[in-house]
Amino acid sequence: MQTTVSKVLVFRGIGLHSGEEVELKLCPAPANFGLCFFRSDVEIGDCAIPARWDRVEQSPLCTKLVNEAGISVSTVEHLLSALAGCGVHNARIEINGPEVPILDGSAVPFVRQILADPLTQLDQPVEAIRILKDIEFKTDQGWARLVPSDVPKMSFHIDFKDAAIGVQSKSINMSNGSFVRELCDSRTFCRSVDVETMRANGLARGGSLENAVVVDGAKVLSPGGLRHADEAVRHKMLDALGDLTLSGAPIIGHYIGHRAGHAITNNLLCVLFATPGSFERVSCSDDVLQILPGIGACLEEYRAAS
């Protein structure tokens, strides 16, 4: 059955790109509500911003959602990946600023609070999207595909010049708790040579060595080094799960990304929903429910993997 959080969860921090202090409240919601942001600092006009693929406005280095009134919220991908990876289907997300707090640069602060108490079970079945045929979106920089699979899977490949990252590949069966065990604590990353360029363009104003992995050639500048040898590709997978969550339902299929980013994944969803016969919506039986990301996830799995 569908789920929501059991109580209001509060997160405070700064936006990675805006540098603004923000408070976010993750609130329980009824069945079939889905995931929706509400800008509590907006006093006039429509403050509701649905977490949907067709509400994405292309933005560098993050995922930005904009409603029909032009009200936006950005850097939503880590929170959305935590919700999907913990099996939360419905939530009202209240935020008093334009950007989700970056916290430690990963999804684990969200995961810890979401899983601290059992989720509330609701009285409606979960609907999933089953991929029926190959779908692809490609650019000169990279590509992504969705292909049929009996279980939700994700494969990713990255290739960076900096030796601290280099070439990394990873493939994961995303069923039941794997996000919590393997991906949720992997942090966003950047190259030190890009930091000043980003700030000159009004980005990364809230970035620091405490909320991002910064690399310089073969060196990792962030205190404590890497959490995983392949933390970079794990974080790209974390991002991809958050962006795929904008489909509005768990996806039963194999996502494959090659040097893919937010825009490529969103465009892949656009192609999916524009291609007749590429998917079907299924009401999940108990057997299907057990293979979805987050079903049965618990904090003990994260602690055991840490």
Q: Which residues are catalytic?
A: 262
Any idea what the Cα angle at residue 59 is, between residues 53 and 61, rounded to 5°?
105
Amino acid at 171: S
Give the whole-angstrom CA distance, residue 56 versus residue 41: 21
Residues 6 or more apart in contact with residue 230 via CB below 8 angstroms: 168, 170
Angle at 29 between CA 153 and CA 271, to 5 degrees: 40
The token duo for 34 is 């889905």
Q: Is residue 31 within 8 Å of 145, Cβ to Cβ?
A: no
